[in-house]
Chain A
Amino acid sequence: MMNEQHDERIQKMLDEGIIQPGLENASEVKAYKTLYQALQQEPELRMPLAFSEKVAAQALQQRKLKARTKARWQSLLLVGIIGLSLILSLLTLRYAYPPFFQYMLSHKILVGFIVALFLAIQVADHWLVRRRWHVRL
């Protein structure tokens, strides 16, 4: 216990940079002084060359990848919503307006063209938006 208190006292003195007169040559103080000097010495480290460039490039690549993945999921979600709304519209037509549904069935090419046009507009719009996001990133 006494020993610990003694050590604590020496450590406190060295932390504060004030050594009590008469203690300068005590073996424990000498050992602590050497230790403190060694602790402030930088360990021999081989810092990799161009580390910051490498890390920055990797970080940006990760961010781009993340943005691309996000955009893909958004595209998928958009296509899903459009597909679902198309199916729902057709079902509604079939049960609510059977004659019109029959008319659509007899003019498949025209309906197909309208649907394709609608999808093309959606895809073009999405492509433009995505391109803009990439510009912002």
Chain B
Amino acid sequence: MTDDALLVSRVIEGDSRAFQQLVQQHERLVFHMVHRIVNRSEDCEDICQEVFLRVFQKIDLFQFQSKLSTWIATIAYRTALNYVKKEEKHAADALSDTLPVASAEPSAQEILERKATYQYIHQQIARLPVHYRTVLTLYHLEEMNLQEIQTITNMPEGTVKNYLFRARKLLKEQLQKQFQQEEL
């Protein structure tokens, strides 16, 4: 029996320590995903809690057809996406190929002076459409492969690839603009 299978069977039996262990093992993944999708840190904890409560309720339905982390990520993705849909019905979640320009953005020089290029990129990621943010997080931060992302998001592999490409291209263009401004 694998570690995941053992853990799952203990959780089904009602072992609270096993569930605690499961939460500890996956909280980083869930927090990253929810944080990137929801983009509001104040709601992040509540949503993550909801994700794990759903995991607990549905764990007896887990069939080991995928990795436990993939299954949990799927629940996190759906929960967070539902939240976003409820909260921001008319927000800029429709996919567009242009990034909104933030008002009063610091200049590139200021950013570099503060050695905050990464922070700048993370700010730009937050402005991307939700699906772009999701695939970027799963691919780069969680190091999942395209098949796993496909399972989690229920998007065709081609779409995942396309979102990944477009998201990175958009971010690169923003970064280049900042580099050019800095050179001027």
Contacts and interface: CB of A to CB of B under 8 A. Distances in A.
Contact of B172 (A35, A42, A43, A51): A35
A16 to B, nearest CB: 13
Given A7-B169, A35-B175, 7 more contacts: A8-B165, A27-B179, A37-B118, A39-B125, A42-B141, A51-B48, A137-B14
A54 B165 contact: no
Nearest to A63: B14
Interface in A27-64: 27-28, 31-32, 34-43, 45-48, 51-60, 62-63
27 contacts: A11-B169, A28-B172, A28-B176, A34-B117, A34-B121, A35-B172, A35-B175, A37-B118, A38-B118, A38-B122, A39-B140, A40-B141, A45-B32, A45-B41, A47-B31, A51-B49, A52-B24, A55-B52, A55-B53, A56-B16, A56-B17, A56-B23, A58-B49, A59-B52, A60-B14, A62-B56, A62-B57
Interface in B1-49: 14, 16-17, 19-21, 23-24, 27-28, 31-32, 35-36, 41, 44-45, 48-49
Given A35-B175, A42-B141, A62 B53 contact: yes
Interface of A: 4, 7-8, 11, 27-28, 31-32, 34-43, 45-48, 51-60, 62-63, 137
Contact of A52 (B14, B27, B44, B53): B27
Contacts of A28: 172, 176
A60 B19 CA distance: 10
